[in-house]
């Protein structure tokens, strides 16, 4: 009985000593932040994320808490965890709208959505399915636009503007690809309308020239020759060197031609 009592006392003392060691080893808020900064400087983003998470968990209202969230966005971005960047930046904007560096959160939110959008397009728009809506890129454009509206003098404004220009070009190019696909399927009204959308929504992009050329072909197929002539006149006036203009004459692209093998199948089954 006495031996059991001595063993229990020893276990209690050992537990107390262990707890004391744990407390002495626990880092201060400043130490966590300094270790995170050192890890970031050394591009050791896994360690940086770990230290920043511990800092936020132990000192959620400390003097480094808000800055740690900004550092966390950067570290997660460097680790290509774009979903986390998006979540952290949106939370920071919601909780700290007056923070002096909140423009950085707006910027990284746009960048994360931008890169997610291009990953989406590369994954889905190269498989022949042209009807998918590139919503992530549209969202990225809106995020950058919000940054410019709220903080036009931000140090990130110039990069945001450049990305917006590129987004518009990619979206316009995508619309042209869809219109060309519609021409091949003989959806001439849809193709003409989509070309009009490119002209009105993306007026200063290279895709406008192709949109006018598509209008010429689509309107001719629909026997709307007056509209086709207007589109052709605009094409000649604004883009005289377009690939479908040769010596002032318009050359059809051949998009609307029926595939010969498809036509042979139709004739074979007596459907003409």
Domain boundaries, given as residue ranges, for the chain = 30-79, 80-155, 186-272
Rg (C-alpha) for the chain, rounded Å, is 30
Q: 263: how many CB neighbours lie within 10 A of its CB?
A: 12
Backbone torsions φ then ψ of 249, nearest 5 degrees = -100, 145
pLDDT at residue number 59? 94
pLDDT (tens digit per residue) in 15-30: 544 444 434 346 899 9
pLDDT at residue number 265? 45
Would you put residue 27 in left (φ > 0), alpha (ψ -120 to 50) or beta? beta
Site of tokens 């509209």: 227
pLDDT at residue number 117? 83
Residue 254's SS3 state is coil
pLDDT at residue number 256? 80
pLDDT at residue number 240? 95
Degrees to nearest 5, angle at CA 198 with 114 and 141 = 20
Below-50 pLDDT ranges, the chain: 2-3, 6-13, 16-25, 124, 127-129, 259-272
């Amino acid at each position: 009985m006495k031996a059991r009592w001595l063993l229990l006392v020893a276990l209690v003392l050992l537990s107390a000593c262990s707890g004391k060691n744990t407390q002495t080893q626990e880092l201060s808020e400043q130490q966590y932040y300094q270790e995170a900064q050192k890890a970031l400087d050394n591009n050791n983003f896994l360690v940086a994320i770990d230290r920043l998470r511990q800092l936020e968990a132990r000192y959620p209202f400390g003097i480094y808490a808000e800055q740690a969230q900004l550092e966390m966005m950067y570290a997660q971005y460097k680790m290509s965890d774009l979903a986390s960047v998006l979540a952290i930046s949106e939370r920071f904007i919601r909780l700290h709208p007056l923070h002096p560096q909140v423009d950085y959160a707006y910027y990284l939110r746009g960048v994360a959505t931008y890169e997610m959008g291009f990953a989406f397009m590369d994954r889905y728009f190269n498989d022949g399915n042209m009807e998918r809506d590139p919503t992530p890129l549209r969202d990225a454009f809106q995020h950058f636009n919000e940054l410019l509206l709220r903080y036009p003098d931000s140090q990130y404004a110039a990069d945001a503007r450049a990305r917006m220009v590129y987004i518009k070009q990619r979206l316009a190019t995508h619309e042209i690809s869809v219109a060309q696909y519609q021409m091949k399927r003989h959806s001439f009204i849809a193709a003409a309308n989509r070309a009009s959308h490119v002209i009105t929504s993306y007026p200063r992009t290279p895709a406008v020239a192709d949109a006018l050329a598509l209008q010429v072909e689509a309107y001719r197929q629909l026997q709307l020759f007056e509209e086709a002539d207007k589109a052709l006149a605009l094409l000649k006036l604004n883009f005289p060197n377009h690939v479908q203009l040769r010596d002032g004459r318009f050359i059809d692209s051949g998009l609307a031609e029926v595939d010969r093998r498809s036509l042979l199948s139709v004739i074979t089954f007596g459907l003409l």
